[in-house]
Amino acid sequence: MHPETHLQLHTIRSAELRCQAADFRLAHPRAGIDTDTGTRAPRTGLRARLGLTMVELGLRLLPDGSVAPCGAAPRTA
């Protein structure tokens, strides 16, 4: 198949799939997702704050000398 023909068929198929996806989003709306673009709303709620707090707590629990010296690295092979 000629490359130009293949590219044109691919372009047509991708446009069809985008149209089907847009129709599906309109038929099945979900909370927190914009039905026009399909993008998620930014997470600024409890879940994000809890995750950042857990990371901060984990970093505080690490001892100061937690990094192993080069000679004590485990072997991989």
Look at residue 4 and tell me whether its pLDDT is greater than 80.
yes
Taking CB atoms within 8 Å and a gap of at least 24, the contacts of 56-59 are none
How confident is the model over 37-63, as pLDDT tens digits? 656 666 667 888 888 898 888 888 877
Residue whose entry in the numeric block shows the structure tokens 């485990």: 74
> How large is the average pLDDT for residues 53-77?
72
Look at residue 18 and tell me whether its pLDDT is greater than 80.
yes
Q: Give percent of the chain above pLDDT 70.
A: 65
Q: What is the pTM of this model?
A: 0.43
Per-residue pLDDT at 7: 94
Look at residue 68 and tell me whether its pLDDT is greater than 60.
no
Residue whose entry in the numeric block shows the structure tokens 């979900």: 30
